[in-house]
Amino acid sequence: MLTVFELRPDNTWGYRLNGADMKKIIPAIWDHDLMAVLSQIRTPVVIMPTRDNRDSARGQVDSQKEERVARARGLLGNCKVVWLENISHSATLEHPQNIAASVVTEVSEH
């Protein structure tokens, strides 16, 4: 399977693609109006955004994220939000056990 990430010899994760390729791919991922399609989703959704209260410089970013999450939640008919606290953007890489446990908890409740 082709993935964006790779496990390095020092047991850390990194991007498989070089910087130039990432600069092309990342904007394409976000170049759509997600909010326009959310109201069409009929299945249960769990949004798991990250928030890092350890870094005061992230305050404005997290505030904007909270507004977007609240808007998305309002557009989705059946939605639960589970905030991943004090975790940076790469939550699935940095804390896979926490993410897996949260997913198992949410799935078992439905």
Domain map of the chain by residue range? Answer: 1-31, 41-109
Burial of 27 (C-beta count, 10 Å sphere; 0-12/13-18/19+):
exposed
pLDDT along the chain (110 residues), means of 10: 71 76 73 83 89 74 86 92 82 82 82
Q: Half-sphere exposure (CA, 13 Å, Cβ side) for 58?
A: 14
pTM above 0.85, yes or no: no
Scan for tokens 């997600």, then name that residue. Answer: 34
